[in-house]
Structure 1
Amino acid sequence: MTLSCAVLDDYQDAALAVADWGPVLDDVEVRTVRDHIADRDMLAAELADCEIVVIMRERTPFDADLLRRLPRLRLLVTTGMRNASIDLAAAAAQGVTVCGTASSPTPPVELTWALLLGLARHVTVENRALREGGPWQSTVGQDLHGRTLGLLGLGKIGTRVARVATAFGMDVLAWSENLTPERAADAGARLAAGKEDLLRRSDFVSLHLVLSDRTRGLLGEPELRAMRSHAYLVNTSRAALVDRSALLRALHEGWIAGAGLDVFETEPLPSDDPLRSLPNVLATPHLGYVSEQNYRTFYSEAVEGIAAFVAGAPVRQLTAG
């Protein structure tokens, strides 16, 4: 019997092009869905015939209700080995195997610096003026050399961001609840006395934390008001780390100079969302992990996972707890 597989949220129509799906095509019929399906009824109808679904990161949540509406589903493959939008306990109870893939920390590091540099040198403002016949030079950029970069989180991504900062001649402060002075020093950073100390002393602040009950809303109004008025906030991790209403006020009222954002509470971002039009926001549509090599890894290992499942030996399984 041929199994049916849908690859969801293939925004760039890249899934079938970047990997060799040949090893599974004798047993699996694969189709891609390019546009995001937000409506849960439409999504359930689209996937009703599928034994296998491949999802891209957390673009489409798989909660218990959706899983119950997909009785044929047997294998769910997510890119990356962590996906908070999947109810793993519900999947296990329904007999759905959940597998993941490897993911490189390098692409989000590079995008973090693209946003930070774009903000510091007003790249989009000057590019727009050049294209549209506006003034020849209208801004004065911030220097990176000699400035302070504050990193909230110093894991795989934060550590790499810190090492780039030292190449620019920046002073790097870092903080998270369990960070030690020794670990900070290994990355070329100094441990801040606390979150507030880091925010008060930094010219640029970048978030590199996993979203959890402890980190949700980590930056609210008091924290954003503690930042310097000329400072920029960069978030390529998770939108919910920052209180949205407080961030909008901070940007509107000039508590901070601006923000570079790659993550949003609702994705795709609604067309009328103020973050699309605020002049002091440099925003990208969740591109942190979107790179050619990462996509090759994602979908090649998705094929491996499907092939292993068909052979009766799933690999890289995700389990609850």
Structure 2
Amino acid sequence: MKIALMDDYLNVARGLVDWSPVERKASLDVVDRPFSDIETAAATLAEYDILCTLRERTPFPAELIRRLPKLRFLCVTGKRYDTVDLEAARAQGVIVSNTPVSGAGAGAVTELTWGLILSLARNIPFEDRHMRLGEWQHGVGTTLRHKRLGVVGLGGLGQDVARIGLAFGMDVVAWSPNLTDERAAQAGVRRLAKDELFSTSDIVSLHLALAPATQRVIDAQAISAMRPNAMLINTARAGLLDEEALIAALSERRIRGAALDVYGVEPLPPDHPLRFLDNVVLTPHLGYFTREMLTAYYEFAQENILAFLDGAPIRVVS
């Protein structure tokens, strides 16, 4: 059998895990580039029986699955598998497994979120660029203490972000479609209505799961309600917000800035408007991308692949 470890842009997978137990049973290749379209993906992956993704970097819609006749097993790293058409996989006899959430890399997304908040609040990337040009001080930063942090989505990640906001001395409030006053109080924060959170928060940080009910839940109206000095942080999913409305607000200086780790198209195209705005901090989907988290993903993926090769698949979702 032939196996491909996909989406490993930096070629780190082989160095993080000993893949020799798998290679004693099958051949193993690394695919180190993104696919621009389904045609390219199908042509590259057609020869493989087993594919292992890296999170959601390559989606598997029905059209792609149908064009991979040899595919028998798809291992999705991470808990979520909403970019895979499970019905199409079942119809073609493809088994799909995921990997559990691991404590090994816990905190990675929370830490990046606060790195982005501080970078934006204190103009760190902007000042760094100008220091390298021989210049000195171009902007005035913002003190976080006593400012309002609006957390959108108060699950595990949202609660972690909220706790750090409280430690900074911030007034932390939260909203999500199903959040109750009781759950908010248990996290040490107050629940606000969506409109009030967006119109009164100095920093808004998104931590909702993407689902049909939350697609573009941060719409033009919500963005327009934000204060002129407000900042928006998204380390969750690009589909949560109206990207065009955000770009318009940033271009017109209707909000102070944004810090983004996720995008509607990834990798972000070189000519994307976000790349040309000076009031955004951009990172290339680094939220989960730490040595500890990737090692955990690949260790679980190896377990899944070996179990499939032994005829007893585990962690099967379809």
TM-score (norm 1): 0.96
Give the secondary-structure state (helix, strand or coil) at the position aligned to 1:205.
strand
Cross-structure match for 1:170 = 170
The Cα shift of 1:42 comes to: 2.2
Q: Deviations over 1:288-310 (max 9, x none)?
A: 11011100011111100000101
Residue 148 of structure 1 corresponds to which residue in structure 2?
148
SS at match of 2:132: helix
TM-fit CA distance, 1:317: 1.5
Question: Deviations along 1:79-122, whole A, 9 cap, x unmatched?
Answer: 11112210011101111111111235521111111110000000
Q: Is the 8 A contact 2:195 2:222 kept in 1?
A: yes
**Is 1:72 aligned with 2:70?**
yes
Give CA-to-partner distance per residue, 1:226-279, whole Å, 9 cap, x none: 111100000011111111211111001122100000010000111000101200
Q: Which residue of 1 aligns with 2:120?
A: 119
Instruction: Work out whether 1:244 is the aligned partner of 2:224.
Output: no
2:200 maps to a residue whose letter is R
Choose which of 3, 12, 15 in structure 1 pairs with 2:13: 15
Deviation of 1:283 after TM superposition, in Å, equals 0.6
Distance 1:217 1:105, change over 3 A: farther
TM-score (norm 2): 0.97
| Aligned position for 2:305 | 306
Q: Which residue of 2 aligns with 1:291?
A: 290
Query: Are the equivalent residues in 2 in contact too, given 1:105–1:157 (CA < 8 A)?
Result: no
Q: Take 1:205 and 1:97, find their aligned partners in 2: how far apart are those partners?
A: 39
Could you list the runs of 5+ residues in structure 2 that have no partner in the other structure? none
2:49 maps to: 51
**8 Å Cα contact 1:81-1:318 kept in structure 2:** no
Aligned-pair CA distance for 1:66: 0.8
CA distance in 1, matches of 2:272, 2:298: 32
Matching residue's letter, 1:160: D
Amino acid in the other structure paired with 2:93: G
What value does the CA root-mean-square deviation take over the aligned residues?
A: 1.1
Question: Alignment partner of 1:234: what SS?
Answer: strand
Of the three residues 37, 59, 62, the one matched with 1:39 is 37
Aligned amino acid, residue 112 of structure 1 = T
Which residue of the partner structure matches residue 220 of structure 1?
219
SS of residue matched to 2:144:
coil
What's the CA shift string for 1:164-183, capped at 9, x where partnerless? 11111111000112111221
Kept in 1, the 8 Å contact 2:106–2:293? The answer is no
Paired position in structure 1 for 2:87? 89
- The runs of 5 or more residues in structure 1 that have no matched partner are none
Is the CA contact 1:224–1:255 (under 8 Å) kept in the aligned structure 2?
A: no
